Structure 1
């Protein structure tokens, strides 16, 4: 039942404005009675909430509380955010931060830049590893690198996505050699990003940072010119973030 409840929470996370019981039951693949019983238990403990008027269910504040505790425990809030803000002031572009979780990257911070059109990474959202600059860094400097290289699903998200396992392995070796990664319209057409790993004392990535911008505004060479600033911020974070 714990697994089913967690599945319900995961699906609820995709509906910030709430979702009706019948539709939720269909989405999770459980009978309506089972879904209702799980929701009642989750509501009792604050993990879900319902709107009596609309009769729609959404995530509860207890999840926010736990998320904040994880954020503080890992140093994301008090330590990382000032560093990311300072980096955005240097680049004039948004700064994103992500960590590795299984076969995904999870965004933990996103600092907006001054530009009207900019790339955003919503905290808590998941993203692919093989076609993003931060994802490549997290793979390249992960202790499970070989396993990830062998098992990642190289889905084509855009025409320039690397889908060949051999080519992807070569890309990861290049990232390790130069210390940063580039995603040139590989995740979404029209978006470029450059990322660096935040390394712990053992040389493995505890997180990754990136600067992203629309391709029409940011030539690749100009984007790569941000690498030294990104690496300086990553070194600062690497010295203070909990392992």
Structure 2
């Protein structure tokens, strides 16, 4: 494993642990010697990416990496293109709206809008920049449904049918056959539906966003499953599809919609 890969493994681990971790805990989770982890952390401290919470205490990321990410997204123009559309859809639906973009083989959440102003609502708060688990999420299933079954299974095999980073709900596909059935139903329905799948108690619907006949991103509506029923999703489908069309038509305003996947 290269020095760069070791450093990135530590950064990715600390990104999921904002409260910080000890050297021994980091070493155990990234499967590296504690002495080497200590040297890497000192170098990351020197570069401004890591700080020690207190003397002889845990290590945590600084805001430098987050600031770079926010600045990058701002300069791509994703927010300028999509945010007004997301805000309108959030107001119309009263639920959480999420936009994900295709980055190589990954689908990554980059923008959100919250329509629920009080009471029961789904509001994860830290999903921007997170790689979407394709098999268990509505956004991922929407993207997969725009591919052939062969390509969809190839992408799922790279990432894993089961999300190893967190527990999924009972509604998540557990076999390849179940996933293929979900994708066939998604194509027939016109939008993906995920209930008690990505997170227990949460339901979501999603569609791929097309630009120049290519999938460039995915758009979803998510909320508590008790409110996001199949009947409610059917009512929201025209609003979701219209917003996706608007984003697709406006995508030429941003260099961050490369349209990497041809429509099948």
Taking structure 2 as the reference length, the TM-score comes to 0.81
The 8 Å contact of residues 158 and 186 in structure 1, kept in 2 or not, is answered as yes
1:116, 1:53 → 2: CA distance?
Answer: 42
1:89-138 CA-to-partner distances (Å, cap 9, x unmatched) read 11111112223457764322232221322112421234421122111012
The 8 Å contact of residues 149 and 165 in structure 1, kept in 2 or not, is answered as no
Would you identify which runs of 4 or more consecutive aligned residues in structure 1 move more than 6 Å?
none
The 8 Å contact of residues 95 and 212 in structure 1, kept in 2 or not, is answered as yes
1:100, 1:116 → 2: CA distance?
Answer: 33
**1:96 pairs with 2:98:** yes
The correspondence of residues 68-83 of structure 1 with structure 2, limited to 5 A, is 68-83=70-85
Matched with 1:115 is: 118
Matched with 1:220 is: 230
**1:193 pairs with 2:204:** yes
1:163-202 CA-to-partner distances (Å, cap 9, x unmatched) read 2312322322332344311112223333221111122213
Give SS of 2:214's match. Answer: coil
Matched with 1:159 is: 170
Matched with 1:174 is: 185
2:158, 2:38 → 1: CA distance?
Answer: 36
1:65 equivalent among 63, 67, 88:
67
2:56, 2:100 → 1: CA distance?
Answer: 35
Matched with 1:141 is: 146
User: Cα offset for 1:12?
Assistant: 0.7
Task: Evaluate the alpha carbon distance shift between residue 218 and residue 149 of structure 1 in structure 2; reply closer, same or farther with a 3 A threshold.
Answer: closer
2:130 equivalent among 125, 128, 150:
125
Matched with 2:25 is: 23
Give SS of 1:109's match. Answer: strand
What is the aligned-residue RMSD (CA, Å)? 2.5
Give SS of 1:226's match. Answer: helix
Give SS of 2:108's match. Answer: strand
Mind listing any 5+ residue stretches in structure 1 that lack a counterpart?
none
Mind listing any 5+ residue stretches in structure 2 that lack a counterpart?
259-264
User: Cα offset for 1:69?
Assistant: 3.5
Taking structure 1 as the reference length, the TM-score comes to 0.87
1:150, 1:37 → 2: CA distance?
Answer: 35
1:234 equivalent among 235, 244, 250:
244
Give SS of 2:48's match. Answer: coil
The 8 Å contact of residues 207 and 219 in structure 2, kept in 1 or not, is answered as yes
Q: How many residues align?
A: 242
1:207, 1:118 → 2: CA distance?
Answer: 24
1:177, 1:200 → 2: CA distance?
Answer: 21
Give SS of 1:11's match. Answer: helix
1:147-173 CA-to-partner distances (Å, cap 9, x unmatched) read 225555323822222223123223223
1:10-37 CA-to-partner distances (Å, cap 9, x unmatched) read 1111111112222222222212221111
